[in-house]
Structure 1
Amino acid sequence: MHMADALVSPAVGGLMLAASAGAVAYSAYKCKDELDEKKIPLMGVMGAVIFAGQMINFTIPGTGSSGHIGGGILLAALLGPFPAFLTITAVLLIQALFFADGGLLALGANIWNMGFYACLLIYPLVFKPIVKKGLNPTRITVASIVSVVLALSLGAFSVVLETLASGITELPFVTFVGLMIPIHLAIGLVEGIVTGGILVFVYKMRPELLESSFQKTKLPKDISIKKVLGMLLAFAVVVGGGVSLFASANPDGLEWAMQNVTGTTELEAKGDVYTNAESIQETTAFLPDYTFKSSGDDGSAVGTSISGLVGGGITLLLAGGTGYLIYAIKRKKEKSA
């Protein structure tokens, strides 16, 4: 559901960038008190997992469409809402800059649509109430499915509102929303099942991870999460470096809806703002569309694998480094006080 620059006007793009920047700043501030230092490596590893997971488009039967995980609910359940939002922001930033996945002008909208609703709204207001009577595999699964479906639907509706506010006349509101919501309900159902499966797996290995996020407590000092980290990292490597080769070639939910309305998955936009944003991405994106620049439209298997591994690695460093920086600033202030 990554929006391209042509789907937002400069005004809407700027407004959403400001809103998302505000949410990032607030999340970083809250992390000073709520980030568990033992979970800092998990921020990096989960960033790599989500980066790899978003490369896997799964087919939605009978539609000609596909979808990929958003990952916000998964991140929030393991890290807590504010570290999760910073982590999904790191994923989307790296995708836009280095892989030209999602526009730079639309970056704020993408962060809001895919991160804000899941991490800062749906997790505390829907996921947590469902499991408030106690974490167990059944409640975790139900909470995951309901939460992901709601978060993805809100994100899809926001895309429609953002195109409407941007004056994209090629995408009439009623027709566009009538396609966006149903297809993302289907995508959300699949992602919810996947999210529930991963969370149940982690819960059975180390229940304290989910419990600490739910209860806003720190992990006990005698608890080790190295085994969980190792398995999640291995998962990211296998998915990003191998399974990504088998991703569906069908357009994702947003592209599918656009194609059914306009006959194309891409719209054109003219103006200096769009030209400059495209020029920046052409300079920074060393693996555009997750393949080598020399591979042409068909791409290459090696380029895809390398993209998954390199992108996951960069995301791990950025997300984990962000967590470590916040923690280091907190410790420095504590010592000076």
Structure 2
Amino acid sequence: MADALLSPAVGGTMLAVSAGVLAYAVRDVRRNFQESRIPLMGVTGAFVFAAQMVNFSIPGTGSSGHISGAVLLAALLGPSPAFIVMAGVLLIQALFFADGGLLAWGCNLFNMAFFGCFLAYPYLFRPIAGKTLSRPRILAASLVASIVSLELGAFAVTLETLLSGITELPFGMFVAVMMPIHLAIAVGEGLATGAVLLFVRSHLPEAEELRLEEKKLSVRRLSLVLGLAALVIGGGLSLLASGKPDGLEWSMERTAGSAELESSGAFHALFARLAEFFALLPDYAFPGSESPAGTVVAGIAGVVLCLLILVACGCLICRKRSCRGGVR
């Protein structure tokens, strides 16, 4: 979501709500997360950042979509670490690449991460995947969890926009276009999530949340594979991303006639100035240039930032746990 969709009251409320969930996740990680798995927080975040740069076309619609990554992260890390990673990825996107507004960060985090990490994963993915983790079960679990997660997130966008009341987006019409297009996107995300998890299951069964205990391999190898994949996707495959509007932009165009909405007011102006100040590569490109080199640099820079910042966050969380005498 962009800031222009939200009133300061709704944006501020969701910032507080997401901050509360984030505080819970930090406490949970401090108590339960294994320090040896901290590198995975960085590389999985970098992988999701890179994957989100690759929009795939939705046939017959003129729209495109990208994965959110919440269910995938929850399966690899657990719900609370996954939520922290999503918070970092979305903040890096908003700050340094002007992708999603700063006022809208709380909404984006809740919509894209809460439903996948704390609802779809524990209550749908885990029961469907079961203890055997067979190929059909993983694919079915990934599809169902991704569909429910994205559909809830899409509906939350329309509800937050309605409560804000600052845009000309009729609620009924907005819902009617948002839900079907995000259903199609969710199918794509579910298939991608299942494919990654099946790869991990077959070749890198270190992810404890998948309970793959046979053929144990080191976290280092899993981190290396995902880190290299992130660099390849962000610095190369991102050039192949679809240029069609994403699901939200496409829905706005069909509802209001334009995906570019103007914001007004002191709060919106303040957050706009902050975005301009921090954005190093707005829209994943060199300022004022459409050179493909800008996309490559943005992809690599984003991957490195996610890796460094999320590993640092994981170390800081676990360091505080150690200082307080927590159990390792």
TM-score class, shorter: over 0.9
Choose which of 140, 143, 147 in structure 1 pairs with 2:141: 143
> 1:227 matched to which residue of 2?
221
Matches of 1:131 and 1:4 in 2, distance apart? Answer: 35
> 2:206, 2:218 within 8 Å by CA — same for their partners in 1?
no
**TM-score of the aligned structures, taking structure 1 as reference length:** 0.94
Q: In structure 2, what is the Cα distance between the partners aligned to 1:79 and 1:97?
A: 25
Provide the TM-score with structure 2 as the length reference. Answer: 0.96
Does the residue aligned with 1:66 lie in a helix, a strand or coil?
strand
Partner residue, 1:244: 238
- Aligned residue number for residue 192 of structure 2: 194
For 1:317, the aligned partner's letter is L
| Aligned-pair Cα RMSD in Å | 1.6
In structure 2, distance between residues paired with 1:112 and 1:69: 15
Aligned to 1:311: 302
Which position in structure 1 is the counterpart of 2:318? 327
One-letter amino acid of the structure 2 residue matched with residue 334 of structure 1: G
Question: 254, 271, 288: which one pairs with 1:294?
Answer: 288
Aligned counterpart, 2:172: 174
Give the drift of 1:319. Answer: 1.3
Structure 2 residue 154 is the aligned partner of structure 1 residue 156: yes
In 1, Cα distance between the equivalents of 2:31 and 2:103?
Answer: 32
2:205 is equivalent to residue 213 of structure 1:
no
Tell me which residue corresponds to 1:61: 59
1:274-325 CA-to-partner distances (Å, cap 9, x unmatched) read 1110001101001000011131xxx220000000000111011111111111
Kindly indicate whether the alpha-carbon contact (under 8 Å) linking 1:80 and 1:214 is maintained by their aligned counterparts in 2.
no
Instruction: List 4+ stretches of structure 1 deviating above 2 A.
Output: none
Distance 1:108 1:193 in 2: 27
Contact 1:180 1:254 in 2 (8 A): yes
The letter of the residue matching 2:266 is: D
Q: How many residues align?
A: 326
In 2, distance between residues paired with 1:311 and 1:202?
23
Who is 1:278 aligned against? 272
Q: Percentage identity across aligned positions?
A: 52
* Cα pair 2:130 2:137 within 8 Å, conserved: no
Equivalence for 2:76: 78
1:106 aligned to 2:100? no
After superposition, residues 31-46 of structure 1 pair within 5 angstroms as: 31-46=29-44
